[in-house]
A and B are shown apart, each in its own frame.
Chain A
Amino acid sequence: MRPRWHRAAGLALRVLWVVVKLTLVAALLNRNAANFVYAGF
């Protein structure tokens, strides 16, 4: 059986990944940010 801290760390990482994805989505929905990011191309 997995130790408790192992499970908690897994859940915390998953929450962090969800936050990262939502931040990226919010950034791309902001047209100025999208323009800034893709102006480099």
Chain B
Amino acid sequence: MPVLHRPGLRASSWRKISKLVAFLACNMGFSLALKTGGVIPFMYCHGCPLAAFACPIGALQHFIGLGEAPLLVAGSLILAFLLLGRSACGWLCPFGALQDLLARPGEAGARQDGRWDVKLRYLKLLILLGALSSSFALSGPTFCWVCPIGALFAGIPYLLAHPGWRPGPAFYIHMAILVLVLLLAVRIPRAWCRYLCPLGAISGCFNKVSLLGIELDEARCTRCLACLRACPMGLTSLGQIGSSPECVLCAKCLDACPSGALKATFRTGIGG
């Protein structure tokens, strides 16, 4: 099983580079030829004037709204999540990166009150089911009508690119939702990813079987729990690292571990 993490090569540096590259790649559609029909494994609105790829949730809703099976979108997502698990949230998603920037220093591993935190994490599943079923019922991308990521990456750039455009009430509703989500992210690290992201509800289910993962060497672990204190998703036990649907495989735990007991792995064999 190849070990991806090497001593001296901090995951945080690679994470910053990958987030920047992903953001630039999403925005390379400055000519029609560069606007592809590819689906990315994280949410980025294809209503953005420079978008080069399709938002997976937007595309799923689009096909379901048309009454067609979203085969290409589903196949692309299953393949991406089988390989990467939920790591696109931790390493590529621009909205996740923004939330990481907004989180107050020292708040990274802040755990919320257990009872409502666990219950609220089911909310993203309900949002996913609600978005898909309402898209089918109303024949339109209903979640896009309230999506804060669309507001940030499509609404604001569109307004800047077209100064004469007079936004309607829907634009201000979008902005209000965006502000609320960002304020929540200041208080609770990665609040959107924890409680609200419908794509995270799908990708998290693949963490248990994804080829990319994080593994704990029990023999080297000193149980200092520095990994859990560094976790932006608020994981509460060592067993959840890498396999819980809530883990975004951001590898902040790898950087935090003083004994090098955690390592990123690509599980190529049958076992593991």
Co-complex (A, B)? no
A interface with B by C-beta (< 8 Å) = none
B interface with A by C-beta (< 8 Å) = none
